[in-house]
Structure 1
Amino acid sequence: MKSIIKQVLTFLPAVLLSLPLFAQDSVYKVSLRDVLELAKQKNRQINIAQTEQDAVDADLRDAQLSKLPLVNINSSYQRFSKVTLYDGGLSDGHSIKRPPTPNSAALGVESAVTIFAGGRQNAAIREQQIRKDLASLNTLDLSGNIFLQAISAYLNIIRLQEQDTVIIEQIKRAETRVKNIETLFRNQKVTRSDLLRAQLILDNQRLSREQNENDLAIAISRLDVLLDLPRHTQIIPTDTVNGEKPGTASLRDLVNSARETSYAILRSQQQLKLQENRIKAIKGAYLPTLQLYSAYGVNYPNNLVFPPVDQAYSVGFIGVKAQYSLSSLYHNKNKEKAAKLRLNALQTQESAIRDDVDQEANALYIKYGESLNRITVAESSIEQASANYRIVSAKYFNQLALLTDLLDADNLYLESKYNLIKSQTDALAFYYRLLYTSGKL
């Protein structure tokens, strides 16, 4: 028994010391910058895109190495059986050793290098280079999209937390209001319906808070998934939405440049380059291929002379090989036509994408300015709604106003605070969406 107690006392400090560590691991106090850094490092989709980028880079290096000479080493050995000779028919045969020796061997090296292929080798390398640029662009686009989702989730958490604070304040007002109405009811200064309605409103507000808390838990869970954090990790934002925001004038250049810097536009341009390169490769098939090739080897026995001699010899050569495909004159005609039609379609698509990006950037710019105006109006509305609530509350408890008027004033006060929170988070959401649309996120 004493040994068991001793073991427990030995391990208990270690367990107790580990508890704060687990608690710290389950709670993250993070700024928006921290969230984006975590997304960059841990988001699985971004990691997959980066892996694909590395794979395409390896494809490019492989295409570049294709211009180097092809080198093969060949070796062989044969041991021949005796040769059966038939002088007077198949029934009269006799065997002799294969002259000059039953053994045969060869060892050699061959090499070939393409010195002209109508530009097809360069086109293949160029295609892989464009694919590498596309993979890099796709990684940037995907990262920007994940960043935008993380920002949206982060802002949503802030919005729900601030709404929770506002709801708690409203519940406290409702609880105080119920207590005061109960006092008035006991003094027979208000009807029972007023008391019941006030209690019902309080219950509804508590349900609203429960709903808000559930929405907050869902928003945190969504951000956990985006950041690849353990399940049930609690995220506490350290940033607020109350700070000064960029003016609309400073974003005008961002809107104007979106037509050139948007990820969608840059991707469309790379697709155009890829199709143009394919047309060059197809045209290269009309041209001949010229190769320089050589070989050198050691052979046994010597079959260059007659009769063959039981000796080894070495010999090599160098030469030029030219090849031209006559079938390319009719095989590539329709290929080239189809490639040019696809190029025209991509050019039209690029123009349409530019218009879409321009329209979206301008729409976000307008909505951002609208949100800034709403913030100013909401701040003023809160002051007015607060003053109105105090006035109506005083009138009600002096029996100069109806309960309906008091509840309307309370709801108006709550709505004005909601509007401020929504306008502040909307403004930042529009701002970051504009950054993403212009390819700056």
Structure 2
Amino acid sequence: MFNYSFYSKKNHLVAATFLLVSLAAGIQNTYAQAPDAGFRVSLSEAVQFAKSQNKWVQAARVEESAAGEDRLDSYRAALPTVNVNGSYQRFSDLTLFTEGLSHSTTGPRKPTPNAAALGIDALFNIYSGGRQRAFQKEQTSRQSLAKLNTEDQSGNIALQTAGQYLDLVRLSDLKKYIQDQLKRAQIRLKNINTLYKNQKVTKSDVLRAEVMLSNVELSLQQTENDISIANQKLDVLMNVPDSVRLNPTDSAGMLKPRPDSLLQLIERTGISSYSVRKAAENVEIQRARVNGIQSANMPTLGFYTAYGLNYPNYLFFPSVNQAYAIGFVGLKAQYSISSLYHNKSKVAAGKLRVKELELQQQAIADNITIDVKSYYIKYMEALNRISVNQRSVEQSQVNYRIVTTKYFNQLALLTDLLDADNLYQESRFNLVKAQTDALTIYYHLLYTSGNL
């Protein structure tokens, strides 16, 4: 029985890193040497590798990085705004009109036809009612939401990979059982032909045995095709070349977690689930928006300054043909009286949406708890089904041996023998299906509870 809480986070991180590097190097080495060769991979290796290399997960990580840059931008927005400006003008001659437009005189612009300016100004926000802090809080929550989306996408890909891996395991075991059935059918047909030559059975028995053999051969071909398709799907999930054939090292009979080890997951589902945590971040984002809207009702205070070089000197009259430099510092306060009635409905709507999102969070938590408890019940049922199917395999195997002995001693019909063979084969299939279904349910429980 394996328990995910056995290792510490540090050891788990080191082990996972080593695992990914080893698996990546192994797949690349296998692909470089023999593209058609198979690569043996365990369930945990396949899941960890897919969580690291899958393209959807990589895309989610890119979005997470972009959200991190947006958060940094919100903090940089609190820095002063600094502008540098410069200009140059060359004026034409000045034309003066008298008595309407009938008389005019033309002369140069005083004190000079040239004008230029070069300066720098800065504005620093001292207080804006908490608008900047609200924006920073919103971007921080958005980054956390992006991180949760990455974890959710990673868990979803892990769930798909586990399901595809277990499907490949089921098909591999199915192929093995069909090959066993094929050998039994070939031996049976050979023995029936011998009995037919000795006139112990009729021709119909030979024909039915041949039909049975043909059906088994078709089933084997179909299973091999299904294995090829499942392998390609697993290649895509793990983002490895589709020419690499992945052979599972784990079997359907691998150890299953104890039911009592899953109780802690169920208890923490209400706070650990990806959906619940994302709903909580959406609530925080909306609260930050409300704070941003409410900040419009508060006054703003800013510090601003400027310094520049100008030409010519327009500060005196008449203007002087000389350059001058001057600067200033000051405070700017502003209050929008109209915000008292413009923002009233906006604030009310924002608070109502916070309430809506809180109710949605509670509803999501309730649904997730129900889903996890349902998976737990189904997991218990699957474990019980495994025990029942194990006994069925033993019983059907004994039954097949008995009917085989009876048939070749002319004490049973071929129909009875074929039915016994099909029953034995079906019981083996059902056992493998029950074993893989139990693991599939377990991984569904891990993902739904936010622990995959």
What TM-score do you get using the length of structure 1 for normalisation? 0.92
CA distance in 1, matches of 2:32, 2:269: 46
1:219 equivalent to 2:230? Answer yes
Q: Pick from 134, 139, 151 the counterpart of residue 150 of structure 2.
A: 139
In structure 1, what is the equivalent of residue 50 of structure 2? Answer: 39
Q: CA deviation at 1:229?
A: 2.3
Q: CA deviation at 1:240?
A: 2.1
In structure 2, what is the equivalent of residue 170 of structure 1? Answer: 181
Q: CA deviation at 1:309?
A: 1.5
In structure 2, what is the equivalent of residue 55 of structure 1? Answer: 66
In structure 1, what is the equivalent of residue 433 of structure 2? Answer: 422
Q: CA deviation at 1:389?
A: 0.8
Distance of aligned partners of 1:105 and 1:396 in 2 relative to their CA distance in 1, 3 Å threshold: same
Equivalent residue of 2:96, what SS?
strand
Equivalent residue of 2:352, what SS?
helix
CA distance in 2, matches of 1:133, 1:148: 22
Question: What amino acid is aligned across from residue 418 of structure 1 in structure 2?
Answer: F
Q: CA deviation at 1:146?
A: 0.5
1:197 equivalent to 2:201? Answer no
In structure 1, what is the equivalent of residue 10 of structure 2? Answer: none
In structure 2, what is the equivalent of residue 6 of structure 1? Answer: none
In structure 2, what is the equivalent of residue 4 of structure 1? Answer: none
CA RMSD of aligned residues (A): 1.8
Equivalent residue of 2:34, what SS?
helix
1:411 equivalent to 2:422? Answer yes
Counterparts of 1:286-297 in structure 2, within 5 Å, are 286-297=297-308
In structure 1, what is the equivalent of residue 135 of structure 2? Answer: 124
In structure 2, what is the equivalent of residue 186 of structure 1? Answer: 197
Question: What amino acid is aligned across from residue 384 of structure 1 in structure 2?
Answer: Q
- Structure 1 stretches of 4+ with a deviation exceeding 6 A read none
Equivalent residue of 2:308, what SS?
strand
Equivalent residue of 2:240, what SS?
coil
In structure 1, what is the equivalent of residue 121 of structure 2? Answer: 110
- The answer as to whether partners of 2:368 and 2:448 remain within 8 angstroms in 1 is yes
Question: What amino acid is aligned across from residue 179 of structure 1 in structure 2?
Answer: K
Q: CA deviation at 1:60?
A: 0.8
CA deviations over 1:374-417 (Å, ceiling 9, x no partner):
22222222222111111111011111112122112111111121
In structure 2, what is the equivalent of residue 160 of structure 1? Answer: 171
In structure 2, what is the equivalent of residue 309 of structure 1? Answer: 320
Q: 5+ residue gaps in structure 2?
A: 1-28
Q: CA deviation at 1:136?
A: 0.4
Equivalent residue of 1:319, what SS?
strand
Question: What amino acid is aligned across from residue 414 of structure 1 in structure 2?
Answer: Q
Equivalent residue of 1:285, what SS?
helix
1:363 equivalent to 2:369? Answer no
In structure 2, what is the equivalent of residue 240 of structure 1? Answer: 251
Q: Pick from 394, 398, 405 the counterpart of residue 405 of structure 2.
A: 394
Question: What amino acid is aligned across from residue 213 of structure 2 in structure 1?
Answer: L
In structure 2, what is the equivalent of residue 14 of structure 1? Answer: none
- The answer as to whether partners of 2:276 and 2:361 remain within 8 angstroms in 1 is yes
Equivalent residue of 1:317, what SS?
strand
Q: Pick from 243, 260, 280 the counterpart of residue 249 of structure 1.
A: 260
CA distance in 2, matches of 1:148, 1:87: 89
In structure 1, what is the equivalent of residue 364 of structure 2? Answer: 353
1:328 equivalent to 2:339? Answer yes
CA distance in 1, matches of 2:135, 2:114: 46
Moved more, 414-423 or 24-33: 24-33
1:230 equivalent to 2:241? Answer yes
- The answer as to whether partners of 2:36 and 2:245 remain within 8 angstroms in 1 is no
CA deviations over 1:117-144 (Å, ceiling 9, x no partner):
1111111111111000000000000010
Q: CA deviation at 1:336?
A: 1.7
In structure 2, what is the equivalent of residue 3 of structure 1? Answer: none
Equivalent residue of 1:29, what SS?
strand
1:264 equivalent to 2:275? Answer yes
Question: What amino acid is aligned across from residue 136 of structure 2 in structure 1?
Answer: I
CA deviations over 1:29-84 (Å, ceiling 9, x no partner):
22223322431333111111111111111111111111011111111111222223
Question: What amino acid is aligned across from residue 246 of structure 1 in structure 2?
Answer: P
- The answer as to whether partners of 2:313 and 2:319 remain within 8 angstroms in 1 is yes
In structure 2, what is the equivalent of residue 7 of structure 1? Answer: none
What count of residue pairs does the alignment treat as equivalent?
424
Equivalent residue of 1:272, what SS?
helix
CA distance in 1, matches of 2:281, 2:30: 53
Q: CA deviation at 1:19?
A: 12
- The answer as to whether partners of 2:157 and 2:237 remain within 8 angstroms in 1 is yes
Q: 5+ residue gaps in structure 1?
A: 1-17
In structure 2, what is the equivalent of residue 373 of structure 1? Answer: 384
Distance of aligned partners of 1:305 and 1:373 in 2 relative to their CA distance in 1, 3 Å threshold: same
Question: What amino acid is aligned across from residue 150 of structure 2 in structure 1?
Answer: T
CA distance in 2, matches of 1:246, 1:125: 43
